[in-house]
Chain A
């Protein structure tokens, strides 16, 4: 039974992934962010951080990549809210095993989109920025596990957020919070230059850890000197991301099921009324 839904979910994800690269609005969303980041990196490429001998651009690129992965949480959450509002989720509920297929599809399309975005930023970024350490096996391995663990840590959590914040309007709040966390997570500037208590706050969220993991994969070992404790802290990275992953995987199915149970034609109609009033 479930294999059919799983396969349908995969193809659903593939179709949605393709759609997001074949229509203007979505394509712009895919390209705009990387282009902006590349421009920022261009200006940071010669600025040195303190007397570390490291260029800010070099430090920032892996951090931005890590942040992009964490942004999957936001995009997952937005997708869920939008799909609930336009009836996609209700349609899934009216189909046997449809909610399962829907979720598999979302993970595939959002996860795939993230990886694509990553490549769009990483390839030109690596050419633009000097001092990246791309020495095959070991950095590839680190990149691999940080990415996979990062996706598992952020996508289910994003789905849970999307079910908790019901309206598109409250999604704005989620985005604002995430931007706040980004600003203290040492993405553009090493986190060690922040006050201690802010460093503590930053370490609660996956964005910092994803950035750290990415830097450990892509920067020479000497760059670890500007990190907290002067180390890449792989164990702690795996631990923190692992905790987020477990929490997300436990909480997401619960809140998702609750949300799906509440979907019906009349709740849709109420939302439609509200949205039309907003438009008109």
Chain B
């Protein structure tokens, strides 16, 4: 996909240092318009720091950052109106009613409407889209965890953003609410061509949600590509297990198919309990992160 528009996010050599600790040591990546990108990494890898710098909530130590063509450290309210942030909320606005809160927050965006981008979005349509119609008149604090998350998404979208930041979206959600949430984000991104940057420590989630995955580890982007590309690039060895005359064997090999053919050619029917386990993306991801951490420790 060749995109002639400038990138939604363009980051180069981003560094963040707290005291003597380097949290980010040169993060570089781009996200095109309309792309859903997952920033994947273990806890403490610097995902939240990265996203907070891009949201304009935190000042970087060094490097270049452009979000929608503007440096977030010096961005104004006009830029703020083009960004949606889904906060890891807790209990803010608990006394407010769902619709009341959404309508209220939408009002701030009206002065920033442009012919191409009508702002804000209609609160009722949004409530329908995130499936909270029945809860529209309820107080926010009475919502379940999943409903609250969906309200957070609605709040992030109410200004008609061109770019949406979502930090650890499904932490603390049950599997059902998680699936609903994934579907919601995918659908919204597809329908409205919003660029989405999501942070997660869950590989399965990144795989399901994102067009592209960035693996952040040790303060650097260590891999960048689609799930399939990552699996191919990081392809490790498959594991083959079998028994021969009651004795157990296990071998790791990059060419499991050829290995098994050879195995049968040599031993024929004596081979039993054959098991071939292909390296999952999970395994390669874990290997990648472990490698990085050991490298950093050395």
Contacts and interface: CB of A to CB of B under 8 A. Distances in A.
Interface stretch (B93-101, B176-184, B286-294): B93-101
A16 B92 CA distance: 13
A15 B107 CA distance: 14
B111 interface: yes
A265 B104 contact: no
Contact of B80 (A87, A90, A96): A96
B108 A264 contact: no
Interface centre among B55, B57, B112, B155, by most A CB within 10 Å?
Answer: B57
A11 B96 contact: no
A264 B92 contact: no
A265 B52 contact: yes
Contacts of B109: 95-96
A96 B77 contact: yes
A266 B95 CA distance: 24
B252 to A, nearest CB: 40
A265 B159 contact: no
Interface string B87-124: 11111111110001000110111111000000000000
Contact of A93 (B51, B57, B88, B89): B57
A12 B111 CA distance: 17
A16 B57 CA distance: 26
Given A4-B111, A95-B105, A266-B49, A86 B77 contact: no
Contacts of A93: 57
B94 A86 contact: yes
Interface of A: 1, 4-5, 7-8, 11-12, 15-16, 19, 23, 83, 86-88, 90-91, 93-98, 101, 263-266, 268-269, 272
7 contacts: A4-B110, A91-B92, A94-B85, A95-B109, A96-B78, A96-B109, A97-B77
A3 to B, nearest CB: 8
B93 A88 contact: yes
A90 B87 contact: yes
Contact of A15 (B78, B104, B112): B104
B107 A265 contact: no
A268 B57 contact: no
Given A1-B77, A101-B108, A88 B92 contact: yes
A8 B111 contact: no
B277 interface: no
A269 B96 contact: no
B126 interface: no
B214 interface: no
A240 to B, nearest CB: 36
Contacts of A4: 107-108, 110-111
B111 A1 contact: yes
B135 interface: no
Nearest to B155: A91
Given A86-B94, A90-B87, A268-B90, A97 B108 contact: yes
Interface string B152-183: 00010001000000010000000000000000
A263 B108 contact: no
B108 A265 contact: no
Contacts of B49: 266
B157 to A, nearest CB: 12
B92 A87 contact: yes
B81 interface: yes
A1 B90 CA distance: 30
Interface in B19-62: 48-49, 51-52, 55, 57-58
B108 A23 contact: no
Interface centre among A87, A265, A269, by most B CB within 10 Å?
Answer: A265
A19 to B, nearest CB: 5
Given A90-B87, A91-B93, A96 B112 contact: yes
A8 B107 CA distance: 6
Contact of A96 (B51, B87, B159): B159
B107 A269 contact: no
Nearest to B91: A86
B70 to A, nearest CB: 13
B167 A265 contact: yes
A95 B52 contact: no
Contacts of A90: 87, 92
Nearest to A269: B88
Contacts of A95: 80, 105, 108-109, 159
Nearest to A20: B95
Contacts of A268: 87-88, 90
Given A83-B92, A94-B80, A96-B112, 16 more contacts: A8-B107, A15-B96, A15-B104, A88-B93, A90-B92, A91-B89, A91-B92, A91-B105, A91-B155, A97-B77, A264-B55, A264-B57, A266-B48, A266-B49, A266-B52, A268-B90
